[in-house]
Structure 1
Amino acid sequence: MENVYYPLLTAHNWVRWLVLLTGIWALVNAFMGVRSRGPMTSRAPFSAFMGSIHLQVLLGLGLFAIMGMNGMAPFPDGPRSSFGWEHLGLGLIAAVFATMANRAAKAPARAAPVYVADGTPAPGPTPTTVSDDITRWRSALFWTFLTWVPLLLAMPWWRPVLRMLGTE
């Protein structure tokens, strides 16, 4: 299993930087959106952040499985013996929060227009209102910021910054 462990550990370490970069992108984008009070035209930063965290969680689950099959401790050099489980749990919480940020950025579903008997559209709400976008920006900012809390708590700061294949 060692031939799978080190490449997976290296990928998990490198994807950490992808998570941090996309997280900064999403946080800055949400903050700027709240400040500008403009329309939300793209949720790409939130989708990228969510996707990178989901990839990170999948790689981490693979590492936990390999380590469990080989009787290895997840963080033998950790601050506490429970840090491995904390790391896993906080990663899952961060994935849920990032998913909520991405969902908050998604445009609400709009009902099809209703027509009256003579074929004219029935009076109703406007398709998109500015207050909808402001609410989406604020929600996306809230959930993106909240994602950073477990993300920063789960990070093993004592580990090497960039890990290569076969190195601890």
Structure 2
Amino acid sequence: MAGCGQRFPGSCFQFLLFQAALLQIGLMQVGGPLVAEEPASPAEQALQDLQGTWRIETLEIGGQIVAAEGGQERTLIIEGNKMRQGEVRLAFEIESTTSPPLIDVEVLNDDAGVRFEGIYQQEGEQLTICLNVTPDAKSRPAEFASPADSMLALVKLKRIAARP
């Protein structure tokens, strides 16, 4: 460390202490300058906000409440752009800039490739999804409702575990 006192007043030991202090408070990074992370885009943030484990509070199809089989608690796990509920695996895409935001869901197992169009709304730890469950229908619900004799599914969920 010959000459470190030329660039930094005081001894080399003081220079090392100064560097250690900068590292500790995060103003310096080993290997180069500290670079601030860019904030997530609104679309990325909307997807991040959906991540976690959700309990299905109610599931209504065609105006009828669908009870859980065997009294089991139903959970939906969202990781990235994938969902799973028990053995059911789904992929989804969202468009968060519309009102209400749009969601398209695709089945990955059993009826692989079947798509459902819908809308969703998230308020804090509450999530509501309304899907047209007619396979490959090209129309989405206009509101969060499941009228009698319709093929609309209204799902209300509550987050029970933090985002992974």
Q: With the length of structure 1 as denominator, give the TM-score of the two structures.
A: 0.22
Tell me which protein shows more strand as a share of its residues.
2
- Which structure has more helix as a fraction of its residues? 1
Give the number of the structure with larger relative contact order, counting CA–CA contacts within 8 Å between residues 6 or more apart.
1
| Rg larger for | 2
